[in-house]
Chains A and B, each alone.
Chain A
């Protein structure tokens, strides 16, 4: 790759404040790209606000919903409807991991989409692609940095939610991290949020416009499961089981329920497959389209 940096015969003199001993010709590695994408993420306020919102909403709603249900336990069903109590008793971990994450996941979706669509809306994409004209490494670096950030934060949030929620729920349904499948469900929920964020990033790369991308991701997460519920029962259930969000969130269940077509890890695998497909499509179009 040294040939990729031809030194002009009339080697130019450096401008005032020229490159002080920077090794010309040595190509920047992928690590530099990761650093660059990290700088991009941390230097914009909207990222920070979305992450704060994610933490507050997820932990806050876990505590709020759990407290409401626990305190109204004897006054009939709480907020969970008729079968609410049985569902909580059958899999308290799944309840705790759904209580706040259900809303908190939307902030991750929005952030994932914004990460790339704001590059288009502000024009930074041009600067980004001038710096990385092969394009794919830029998106891959962005995805890795984003996934790393969300994974760390989501695990902290999920375990915090679990400990806070289980402490409140303890008087009604005792559950601990040591129970079978619970640790995997809590840790898996962090994984689920991370991959969901990547799915949103992929959708953002495909659609490029903020409003359209966010609407699409929210549609996939919230609306598709409802629509598939309207389909005839026999195949509606199968379609529903393989939707990205429905399949992926199975990982937050401590154990497979009789009604579940997929095991927790199978479901998570389906979400990963969706995400990989959409990312591949995003990379294909990113390379192909005019910036």
Chain B
């Protein structure tokens, strides 16, 4: 459990994090979402005791980070900025961390196995690819078998295989009852990874709710379904109140995004028109998992079932662009900021 209460961090008078409060609960992946520069990394650094907040407090399982006796046994963190000496081997990097926590050195090989870096354990970390570096960072985070994990942009720059690996690892760890907070500026990635979303913009909280609720806020929310048995699936979905439209089977519409995807609305028209061959449908008013369940229960084969990416990004843009306007109007006067900073300096 991570709790942030009224966190504020000023950098030269400007609020990078602005009276931010939220709670991250165990047992699920919590996505920490916001555009670049929204204050995600700063918030994580405040939680981890690397930076000092100007106001507020962050606690992990009820304690401030610096109060934890062996912090790496409670909290594992992957920071966006690198934190490994390029001239030191992966094994030695993990070894000094393990030793500092009183962990047995055998733990080093265990986490190297976990992330698949055992064979390059004695190679200098400076020779690692971005993906390997990220895996080393995950290994360091997992060293103390922590109950709480904070990962800052873990999929940044990773290849699809690496993205999938991290996504599955996070879900697996959350499934074990751990607290997992993972930041990203990519809505799409969070939509498939996180169960819960904390969205911030300009250091302020914008949304703190289940991922599907955040997505549902999008007016354009839709699901793209491809099936060889379109008429039956259409009937099933419409019986539960979903709306189905056919995506024109032209090369232009292959991406399924934008206006081309929402053409041909009439369902009656569809039912008679669709005769055979795989068809791509756009479904609104029904979440993707329910569509999958309906298809499974009726043994309808699905070739594709995906949230419309464009609409997710729209939801995100809608949320965060709102925050930008909000931020402009509610930004405290510079003088007040400076005074707060001065007061803080004195306090510390």
Give min CB distance, B252 to chain A, whole Å: 47
| Residues of chain A whose beta carbon lies under 8 Å from any beta carbon of chain B | 1, 4-6, 8, 10-20, 22, 24-29, 32-33, 35-37, 39-40, 43-46, 118-119, 122-134, 138, 288, 290-291
In the assembled complex, B103 has its CB within 8 A of some CB on chain A: yes
Q: Which of B45, B63, B84, B114 contacts A4 (CB 8 A)?
A: B63
Contact present for A133 and B66 (CB under 8 Å): yes
- CB pair A12–B50 under 8 Å, yes or no, is no
CA distance A16 to B107 in the complex (A): 11
* Closest Cβ neighbor of A288 among chain B residues: B348
The CA-CA distance from A218 to B332 in the complex, in Å, is 46
CA of A11 to CA of B104, assembled, Å: 21
Given A12-B177, A15-B145, A124-B83, answer yes or no on A131-B50 (Cβ-Cβ < 8 Å). Answer: no
Q: Is the CB of A118 within 8 A of B73?
A: no
A18 to B142 alpha-carbon distance, docked (Å):
9
Is the pair B50, A19 in contact by a Cβ cutoff of 8 Å?
A: no
12 extra A-B contacts, CB within 8 A, seeds A122-B86, A124-B83: A15-B142, A17-B110, A32-B100, A36-B96, A39-B92, A40-B88, A43-B92, A46-B87, A126-B79, A132-B100, A133-B66, A133-B71
B72 close to chain A: CB less than 8 A: yes
Question: Are A126 and B51 in touch, CB under 8 angstroms?
Answer: no
Identify the closest chain B residue to A125 (Cβ). B83
8 contacts between A and B (CB under 8 A): A5-B68, A5-B70, A11-B177, A15-B173, A17-B113, A44-B88, A126-B50, A291-B45
Q: Is the CB of A122 within 8 A of B63?
A: no
Q: Is B176's CB within 8 Å of the partner chain A?
A: yes
What size tier do the contact residues of chain B reach?
Answer: 35 or more
Chain B 66-102: CB-based contact to A (< 8 A → 1; otherwise 0): 1111111111010101111111110011011101111
Residues on B with beta carbons closer than 8 Å to the beta carbon of A17 = 110-111, 113-114
A160 to B50, CA, bound (A): 45
Complex CA gap A20/B348 in Å reads 41
- Seen from chain B, the residues whose Cβ lies within 8 Å of a Cβ on chain A are 1, 26-27, 45, 48-52, 61-63, 65-75, 77, 79, 81-89, 92-93, 95-97, 99-104, 106-107, 110-111, 113-114, 140, 142, 144-145, 147, 172-173, 176-178, 348
Residue contact A19 to B107, C-beta cutoff 8 Å: yes
Q: Are B104 and A131 interface neighbours, CB within 8 A?
A: no
Cβ of B26 and Cβ of A27 under 8 Å apart? no
A10-B177, A43-B92 are known contacts. Are A118 and B85 too (CB-CB below 8 A)?
yes
Closest A residue to B137 by beta carbon equals A127
Say whether B61 contacts A36, CB under 8 Å: no
Whether A20 lies near B50 (C-beta < 8 A) is no
Residues of chain B lying within 8 A (CB to CB) of residue A288 = 52, 348
Closest residue on chain A to residue B102 by CB atoms? A28
Residues of chain A within 8 A (CB-CB) of B145 are 12, 14-15, 18-19, 22
Q: Are A130 and B106 in contact (CB under 8 A)?
A: no
Specify the chain A residue showing the minimal Cβ separation from B98. A36
User: In the bound complex, do residue A122 and residue B96 qualify as a contact, i.e. CB atoms below 8 Å apart?
Assistant: no
**A27 vs B100: C-alpha distance when bound (angstroms):** 10
Partner of A36, one of B79, B100, B178: B100
With a CB–CB cut-off of 8 A, which chain A residues contact B61? 6, 8
Shortest distance in angstroms between A14's beta carbon and chain B's nearest beta carbon? 6
Alpha-carbon gap, A32 to B101, bound state (A): 7
Residues on B with beta carbons closer than 8 Å to the beta carbon of A36? 96-97, 99-100
A29 to B70, CA, bound (A): 10
Choose among B100, B140, B173 the residue with the greatest number of A CB atoms under 10 Å from its CB.
Answer: B100
Given A28-B100, A43-B92, A126-B81, the answer on whether A133 and B142 have CB atoms closer than 8 Å is no
Q: A24-B73, A129-B50, A130-B72 are in contact. Are A12 and B79 (CB under 8 A)?
A: no
